[in-house]
Amino acid sequence: MIQSKFSPGAKLGQRILVVDDEPLLRQLNSEIFTDAGYEVDVAEDGENAWDALQLHDYHLLVTDNQMPKMSGVDLVAKVRQAGKKLPVVMVTGTVPEAEFTRQNWLEPFAMLLKPYSMAELLGVAKAILTASQDCGEPMVLPPNWECQPQTFGMRLR
């Protein structure tokens, strides 16, 4: 199921898809972005997120990795294979290093390890969204992305 939240005066129509199988984290992440003025859709797993990505255009994907039906890594793989030029922030308790080593084209723009603060999440999202505006459309995928956001204490590609 896909749920949408819209904040009047959303930042230039920027839309974020938040994907997490933990209802509380999904709600908190959604609220922090909505309160900051972004339009937000949420999905409880990678499969529902993929459905949302077929229906709507997003400026940022924020996804957990370990989820039922489809993992975050599998979701990113589908996004990349479909040629979608969408920046991804992976928020996860464990870094899927083996997947990223084997298939380095899957690595997200940024990664936040749980637990992370809402300020860190909002900071990295703002940096990526600002950089994508500064770079112009369409955004290119790493490693060619020249407008690198600040690190905000997490690993960036």
pLDDT for residue 51 is more than 70: yes
Give the CA angle between residues 87, 32, 19 to the nearest 5°.
50
77 or 4, higher pLDDT: 77
Residue showing tokens 């920027």 = 14
| 84-104 residue pLDDT tens | 989 999 998 877 676 666 666
- Taking a C-beta distance cutoff of 8 angstroms, is the pair 71, 45 a contact? no
Q: Which helix (H) or strand (E) holds 27?
A: helix 23-35
Highest mean pLDDT among 9-18, 58-67, 85-94: 58-67
Q: What is the CATH number of domain 2-156?
A: 3.40.50.2300
- The pLDDT value given to residue 92: 86
Partner residues linked to 2 by β-bridges: 43
Strand partners, 63: 19, 90
pLDDT at 109: 81
Judged by DSSP in three states, 110 sits in strand
User: Parallel, antiparallel, or unpaired: how do β-strands 155-156 and 88-92 relate?
Assistant: unpaired
Q: What is the pLDDT of residues 26-50, one digit of tens each?
A: 999 999 999 999 999 999 999 999 9
- pTM confidence score: 0.78
The dihedral over CA atoms of 149, 130, 58, 34, expressed in degrees to the nearest 10, equals 100
Mean pLDDT of 47-75: 95
Q: What is the 3-state secondary structure (H, E, C) of 44-82?
A: CCHHHHHHHHHHCCCCEEEECCCCCCCCHHHHHHHHHHC
DSSP state of 79: H
